[in-house]
Amino acid sequence: MPAAAVERPDFQIVPRAGLPVIAVVLLLLIVAIAVNETWPLMFLHVVAGAAWTIIDLFLGFVIGPILGRLSIPARVELTTRLMPKMVLIMPTVVAATLAAGWQLATKLDYTLTSYHYHGWVVASFIVVGGMAVIALGLLEPANIAVLTEIKKPTPDPEVIQRLMKRFIYTAGATGLMQVATLVIMTRLATG
């Protein structure tokens, strides 16, 4: 069935209703960094980091394979409801995890080269850097491009399929890298 014939729910590529929530999260992040207290920094780092990890693993290994087997109308339905939310959620949780994490690490002296597990901290930078490159360079562009394509009066099914494949593969790749993050973070947490 050509995608043009598929009924598409009306949607916004960037859901405006979510913008105030994002603004609040970013404001909380700035306040947490400014006051430099351990608990708010830990809270934001753990909550945002857990969200990032869980979403990556869930998208890459649960939703991705399911999405690939759905009929085109069901795929379009799920995509137009799920992916606009990802446009807002993913950059926000990534920014919150990194900013709160760096501030926390600095406060706890984990960034000092004299820290016993500094090698593990640097390893976490490398893994997160790799994930950021994949997420920002491939996954996020594919996410926005597929939504833009679906919004067109006559979407090209081949373009949608190609971009969705890219989205799912990159989500799977970052999901695998998240396992490495879990190993490093649990190692650091247990000392």
Out of 91, 120, 165, 183, the only residue in the binding site for other proteins (CB under 8 A) is 91
Q: How many CB atoms lie within 10 A of CB 64?
A: 19
Residue 140 found at the interface with other proteins (CB under 8 A): yes
| Among residues 2, 5, 12, 14, the one that binds other proteins under rule CB under 8 A | 14
Out of 72, 95, 182, 188, the only residue in the binding site for other proteins (CB under 8 A) is 95
Residue 14: DSSP 8-state: S
**Which residues in the 97-116 window bind other proteins by CB under 8 A?**
98-99, 102-103, 106, 111-113
Q: Cβ(173)–Cβ(26) under 8 Å?
A: no
Q: Of 75, 76, 59, 74, which is closest to residue 11 (Cα–Cα)?
A: 76
- Identified binder of other proteins from the candidate list 158, 176, 179, 187, rule CB under 8 A: 158
Instruction: Please report whether residue 56 would count as binding other proteins according to CB under 8 A.
Output: no
Instruction: Provide the token pair at 173.
Output: 């790749």
For other proteins, the binding residues (CB under 8 A) are 14, 26, 29-30, 33-34, 36, 91, 94-95, 98-99, 102-103, 106, 111-113, 122, 125-126, 129-130, 132-133, 136-138, 140-142, 144-145, 148-149, 156, 158-159, 163
